[in-house]
A and B are shown apart, each in its own frame.
Chain A
């Protein structure tokens, strides 16, 4: 029965085999040089974020900051936390919590007219 369950999950993409998830050559799908490149990109985005403190971006200020924050967030989760290379079930567990948190607290803030101020 377990074998059938495993085959079903494997076919649906919910199960990643040990070989797929932990390739000996790549660790978790990336080389150390790849991690350094990701860190470099994250550093550059952080520098751009800080530049908004000194340079006036006008109406683009808030959207630009939120987009850069989201890119950094997704990059760390996908590459450093290996969610991109790992089992889809882990992504579901994490993003379910994240989306629930964003929904619940956006609703809570909306009741206090936070987005109108």
Chain B
């Protein structure tokens, strides 16, 4: 009987799923699993081509590890602020949710700003998209990641607006949790990129 009661409650909160599992969350994890394949392809392509420099600068000539370390730390800390936003949303604390979502978006924007600065610096040092296979694979990989972060920032800002207006169809906490999962995924992809691309020399 108790099982039935919990079942009913879980189903109600999980968009009508009869198994008690949220379909939205299941779909999100499936999407993230498929994203592993996308970024796996981009990372392995870079690993294959990073030493292929027919002209232009090599990775060790352009990479600024101290600068990238700071931006990596900023993105890592944005994961903390994101999880605090999810926690606030679960407690129905709209003020805390808005605050932490905004801080996360700000940290994400700082990271993207750093990436734009890095790309500009690399370009001025002679590394264009078509300069070498290293350049093409590097810009494709980090560019794709940057686009993912930018999409995350747009979702965060949209969510801030929605929370402030107070009009939200469905479960607000679950939607913020889904944005959080996406944001953390972007962070773990960068954890891999930072180590494999920046810290391990060619």
A residues with CB within 8 A of B: 2-3, 5-7, 9-10, 14-19, 22, 24, 27-28, 32, 35-36, 38-39, 42-43, 46, 49-50, 52-53, 62, 65-66, 68-69, 72-73, 76-77, 79-81, 86-87, 89-90, 93-98, 100-102, 104-105, 108-109, 112, 114
A46-B76 contact in complex given A18-B6, A35-B84, C-beta closer than 8 Å: yes
Q: How far is the CB of B69 from chain A (nearest CB, A)?
A: 5
Q: Cβ of B19 and Cβ of A104 under 8 Å apart?
A: no
Instruction: Compute how far the CA of A38 lies from the CA of B81 in the bound complex, rounded to whole angstroms.
Output: 12
Complex CA–CA separation, A101 to B188 (angstroms): 15
Residues of chain A lying within 8 A (CB to CB) of residue B21: 15, 87, 89
- Where the two chains meet, the residues of B that have a C-beta atom closer than 8 Å to any C-beta of A are 3-4, 6-7, 9-10, 13, 18-21, 25-26, 29-30, 32-37, 39-41, 43-44, 47-48, 65-66, 69, 72-73, 76-77, 79-80, 82-84, 86-87, 90-91, 180-181, 184-185, 187-188, 191-192, 194-196, 199-200
Shortest beta-carbon distance, B61 to chain A, in Å?
15
- Are B37 and A65 in contact, with the CB atoms below 8 A? no
Given A6-B7, A7-B3, CB of A53 within 8 Å of CB of B184: no
In the complex, the answer to whether B199 meets A36 with C-beta atoms within 8 Å is no
Instruction: Assess whether B26 is in contact with A27, with CB atoms less than 8 Å apart.
Output: no
B20 touches A80 (CB 8 A): no
**Contacting residues, chain A, for B29 (C-beta < 8 A):** 90, 93-94
Question: Contact between A80 and B91 (Cβ–Cβ < 8 Å)?
Answer: no
Residues of chain B contacted by A17 (CB below 8 angstroms): 6, 10, 20
Interface contact A28-B86, CB-CB below 8 Å: yes
A81 vs chain B, min Cβ distance (A): 5
CA distance A15 to B3 in the complex (A): 12
- In this complex, what residue of B is CB-closest to A96? B33
Residues of A within 8 A of B3 (CB): 3, 6-7, 10
The verdict on A93 contacting B19 (CB below 8 Å), with A6-B7, A35-B80, A36-B80 known, is no
A31 to B36, CA, bound (A): 29
A97 touches B79 (CB 8 A): no
Contact A76 B191 (CB under 8 A): yes
A97 to B25, CA, bound (A): 16
Assess whether A114 is in contact with B48, with CB atoms less than 8 Å apart: yes
> Are A49 and B195 interface neighbours, CB within 8 A?
yes
What's the least CB distance linking B111 to chain A, in Å? 14
- Are A73 and B188 within 8 A (Cβ)? yes
Are B18 and A5 closer than 8 Å at their CB atoms?
yes
